[in-house]
Structure 1
Amino acid sequence: MVNDWIDTLADTGRGLLERRLRLGITGLSSSGKTVLLTALVQALLYPARLQGLTAVQEGRYHAAVLRPQPNQHLPRFAFESNLQHLCEAGEWPPGTRRQSELRLSIRYRPTGLQGRLGDAVLHLDLFDYPGEWLLDLGLLAHDHDSWSRAVLEEMQQPEHRAASQSFRELLAELDPDTPDAEAERKAMQAAKAFRNYLRQRQEQEKRALLLHPGRFLLPGDLEGAPVLTFAPLPPASYDTAWRRRGRGQDESLRSLMEQRFKAYRDEIVRPFHRRHFARLDRQLVLVDLLGHLQHGSEGLRALDREMESLLDAMRIGRSWLPRAVRPGIDRVLFAGSKADHIPSDQHDTLTGLLARSLAGSLRQSRFRGAESETMAIAALRATREVRQSHRPDRRYLAGRPIGNEAEVAHYPGQLSAEGLPPEGFEALAFRPPAGLHADGAWPHIRLDKALQYLIGDRLG
């Protein structure tokens, strides 16, 4: 805790002396965070295709360079390695598996009187972390008992009973409230079965899920640690709960699970939130809306519930204190990723679906005093639009599908404004575009508009 306060004071001091913006790049797994952050940095280093960024359009944007990051304890974002994957190997880089940071310094000429005094430098600190860890923020509102009730209720839903069957059968054999010398072994057994359930659910949904401890799937440095050895348990009976209060801490399986859930929440999730989210100025939340649409209207409703839970845990909104003293997120961009997987004449439909499915989250962020916006983007455009002679009225996507060297012309189908894809709708996954260079600008869709919303005012 003392080190956190020291870091916060040092961070505040730097904020008083330099122009700086801390941007969080967040989103659920498979939304494309790693590619977005790589393409965003590449675009700022080579801004020729950023005409939607006012400072570039007006000729006031001079150059950007990578700088040493201020936080000495966080890994550096693997920008150069990602370049090799995209430009040399022609493959998508591996997804985010741990938190990382990168600093980019932008030299520009301010507008008005400040511009007459000379150039200025904006330090842009970019923070990335796994989407699975993002959903852990929802655990801050729970103790082991309330979390267990919510997760076990989820398991009882008809569509999840098959995936949870093995875990529920194991749970039925356990006596969690009797002192047990075998509690550790049984905790490991239950945690393994619970982790298998989480993996099956993530595979089914193709994304991270609310109330599923993210580090169970991406443990990072916690691989094998006891803090990841817990699982939900059914509620104790009234008599059992009364006896436990009289004994205090006992050696039962429930006591062990409660201790470890509390340690996970208070020693892993809460410090992560305090050290990083509490210092962010702007937030980009990347959403794979096309992936959610595969699950119909229920997928869209689940998306808004997840985002509202996350916004509850983030420090969003303005304060009467100066931002250098009390940072807070004053702008949130919800960006629908992979806009290059559908033709451009459907982008407005995609953006409208995103706005409607996130109506609660948008309302919540605005009520707290933060600006919020929705946008359909592709940070690195993997397709181009072509016409076919037999259907001149239709826009096709030309690109190289995953696992295919040859380029194809593909029409995914027509999105409906109600969010229910028609029968036969198929948005293909494409390989990176051919001919990418590490020393040049890359194709994108509205990445410049996203940057204008997130940092444009700081380059004014």
Structure 2
Amino acid sequence: MDLYFDRLFDRALDAGRGLVERRLRLGVTGLAEAGKTVFITALVQALLHPAALPRLQVVAEGRLRTVLLRPQPSQDLPRFPFEDCVARLTGRDGPPDWPESTRNQAELRLSLRYLPGGLMGRLGERVLHLDLFDYPGEWLLDLALLQQDYESWSAGALASLREASALPEARAFLELLHRLTPDRADAAAETQAIEAARLFTAYLLARQRSLGRAAPLGPGRFLLPGELEGSPLLTFAPLPPRGNETTARSSLRRLMAERYDAYREQVVRAFHQRHFTRLDRQIVLIDLAGHLSAGEERADASAAALDAVLAALRVGGSGWLPRWLSPHIDRVLFAATKADHLPGDQHQGLEEQLRRKLDAALRRTAYSGAELETRVLASLRATREVEARGEARRYVAGTPYGGEKPLAHYPGRIPQTGRLANGSFRIERFRPPADLDPTGPWPHLGLDRALEFLIGDWVE
């Protein structure tokens, strides 16, 4: 209830300032390695140095006066490390490299001073405070737990474990389950829970190492515990379905279910209420090209994980209540990132695959009343296109990891319909451009179009 009144007070303040200052909260969502950190860094750099944003109308019409970084609104959250990310990308302290993926939550505020268009411009300049929120992709997946009880979560987690039974860590956990009697009264239930959680966490970390951080694994705090390191909230694990035996009050199953429920309420729901219920706009990032490079199954699993996450977000509204009484997400942009890994003649195919993979999420978003768009995007372009003499296909060229000389790479072709043949598509990982200016605009693909959809109507 306190959180509700806090949000209501925030919205009332926003409404009172509306003619001169307004606040827009933009959620940047995506699984691990979707490019959230680079997106936020490139977005801020682009607005600070907007010469490379010709399709953002407030820039094209010369109405954007200035943009400043401001202290973030929440005093108890770290500031997004924008300057450190710029330094790493531009090679201030070594060779240019991509910044590390997000491992904790952070905020950043940009304030845009602009002149409204049309007759409103006669009233003078306005200010838009753009609040950006960043958090690990692993934590994002936890939102799906809001739709699951302990038994249904356990069934799904054990099915995934059995699929990965070739991993020693998975076998160790499954062997432990065979030795447990989870429904009987047991004075050692706490000790067993700690051991089971330890082995389950070891399995999650091992599987993440084998599949990459972008794999949809969770609970997220088992992988990145943050301030919950060592907390009883992280001492639960999946158990097989109960049989005909009655579950005792002091049993391991009862303890596990209570810990799961506590994690869902005190960690996941609290995180959701504090951050996601305050959002106005949402961009959903997915490295679809990277997932397709790892196989259609990985791409399907990631799309399904995102769909479950989006079901928990407050997208769309009542349609008649003012926004300060009924906060909700009214625009959602679905973006396939790292489009510079593909030649331009394949971007349409990548966008069609994005629509196909996220079909359920797109239909639900449209039904909710929110506006939506799908796009391909490269927040920071690391390649250029080249055409081989005598060949009727285009390549992307850049400096690959593990090499010093530029490489021209053809990833294979993404079909606009149908599925990829195994092994027919593989992207190359490229380093950032070697000549980025920390005090100037950076190359990108589609960042200005994305910004026009996400904030353009707020700076008209």
Residue 317 of structure 1 aligns to which amino acid in structure 2?
G
Give yes or no for contact 2:173–2:203 (8 Å, CA) kept in 1.
Answer: yes
In structure 2, the partner of 1:353 is: 353
Give yes or no for contact 2:290–2:427 (8 Å, CA) kept in 1.
Answer: no
The reply to whether residue 412 of structure 1 matches residue 415 of structure 2 is no
Q: 1:45-94 CA deviation, whole Å, 9 max, x = no partner?
A: 00000011111111112221111111112111110111111111311111
How far 1:419 moved relative to its partner? 3.7
Q: Distance in 1 between matches of 2:214 and 2:194?
A: 23
In structure 1, the partner of 2:141 is: 135
Match of 2:165 among 156, 161, 168: 161
User: Judging changes above 3 Å, is the alpha-carbon distance between structure 1 residues 278 and 370 closer, same or farther for their aligned structure 2 residues?
Assistant: same
Q: 1:188-218 CA deviation, whole Å, 9 max, x = no partner?
A: 2211211122223333433455572001101
In structure 2, the partner of 1:238 is: 244
How is 1:278-297 mapped onto 2 (pairs within 5 angstroms)?
Answer: 278-297=277-296
Q: Distance in 1 between matches of 2:303 and 2:30?
A: 13
Tell me whether 320-329 or 442-451 shows the greater mean CA deviation: 320-329
Q: 1:293-349 CA deviation, whole Å, 9 max, x = no partner?
A: 135443343333222211221000022211122210011111001101111111111
Residue 396 of structure 1 aligns to which amino acid in structure 2?
Y
Residue 76 of structure 2 aligns to which amino acid in structure 1?
H
Give yes or no for contact 2:295–2:422 (8 Å, CA) kept in 1.
Answer: no
Q: How many residues align?
A: 449
In structure 2, the partner of 1:440 is: 440
In structure 2, the partner of 1:374 is: 374
Q: Distance in 2 between matches of 1:154 and 1:423?
A: 24
How far 1:148 moved relative to its partner? 0.9
Q: Distance in 1 between matches of 2:137 and 2:286?
A: 10
Task: State the secondary structure of the residue aligned to 2:129.
Answer: strand
* Structure 1: 4+ residue segments shifted above 6 A: none
Q: Distance in 1 between matches of 2:107 and 2:421?
A: 37
Q: Distance in 1 between matches of 2:288 and 2:307?
A: 16
The reply to whether residue 36 of structure 1 matches residue 44 of structure 2 is no
Match of 1:219 among 220, 225, 249: 225
Give yes or no for contact 1:151–1:211 (8 Å, CA) kept in 2.
Answer: no
In structure 2, the partner of 1:258 is: 257
In structure 2, the partner of 1:67 is: 70
Q: Distance in 2 between matches of 1:167 and 1:35?
A: 36
Give yes or no for contact 2:57–2:452 (8 Å, CA) kept in 1.
Answer: yes
Q: Distance in 1 between matches of 2:241 and 2:412?
A: 47
Q: Distance in 1 between matches of 2:212 and 2:337?
A: 15
Structure 2: state its 5+ residue gaps.
none
Task: State the secondary structure of the residue aligned to 2:173.
Answer: helix
The reply to whether residue 95 of structure 1 matches residue 94 of structure 2 is no
Q: Distance in 1 between matches of 2:381 and 2:361?
A: 27
User: Judging changes above 3 Å, is the alpha-carbon distance between structure 1 residues 323 and 256 closer, same or farther for their aligned structure 2 residues?
Assistant: same
The reply to whether residue 364 of structure 1 matches residue 368 of structure 2 is no
How is 1:373-392 mapped onto 2 (pairs within 5 angstroms)?
Answer: 373-391=373-391
Q: Distance in 2 between matches of 1:423 and 1:177?
A: 47
How is 1:6-85 mapped onto 2 (pairs within 5 angstroms)?
Answer: 6-16=5-15, 17=17, 18-85=21-88
In structure 2, the partner of 1:121 is: 127
Give yes or no for contact 1:303–1:358 (8 Å, CA) kept in 2.
Answer: no
Tell me whether 170-179 or 96-105 shows the greater mean CA deviation: 170-179
Q: Distance in 1 between matches of 2:355 and 2:227?
A: 37
Q: Distance in 1 between matches of 2:269 and 2:373?
A: 27
Give yes or no for contact 2:436–2:442 (8 Å, CA) kept in 1.
Answer: yes
Give yes or no for contact 1:415–1:422 (8 Å, CA) kept in 2.
Answer: no
Q: Distance in 1 between matches of 2:291 and 2:415?
A: 14
Tell me whether 294-303 or 282-291 shows the greater mean CA deviation: 294-303
Q: Distance in 1 between matches of 2:9 and 2:433?
A: 43
In structure 1, the partner of 2:312 is: 313
Residue 100 of structure 1 aligns to which amino acid in structure 2?
A
The reply to whether residue 277 of structure 1 matches residue 281 of structure 2 is no
Q: Distance in 2 between matches of 1:179 and 1:253?
A: 8
Q: Distance in 2 between matches of 1:72 and 1:7?
A: 15
User: Judging changes above 3 Å, is the alpha-carbon distance between structure 1 residues 123 and 78 closer, same or farther for their aligned structure 2 residues?
Assistant: same
In structure 2, the partner of 1:187 is: 193
What TM-score do you get using the length of structure 2 for normalisation? Answer: 0.93
Residue 99 of structure 1 aligns to which amino acid in structure 2?
Q
In structure 2, the partner of 1:426 is: 426
In structure 2, the partner of 1:144 is: 150
Give yes or no for contact 2:215–2:298 (8 Å, CA) kept in 1.
Answer: no
Tell me whether 206-215 or 399-408 shows the greater mean CA deviation: 206-215
Tell me whether 114-123 or 271-280 shows the greater mean CA deviation: 114-123
Q: Distance in 2 between matches of 1:200 and 1:92?
A: 24
How far 1:113 moved relative to its partner? 1.7
User: Judging changes above 3 Å, is the alpha-carbon distance between structure 1 residues 295 and 427 closer, same or farther for their aligned structure 2 residues?
Assistant: closer
- Identity across matched positions, percent: 54
In structure 2, the partner of 1:453 is: 453
How far 1:238 moved relative to its partner? 2.6
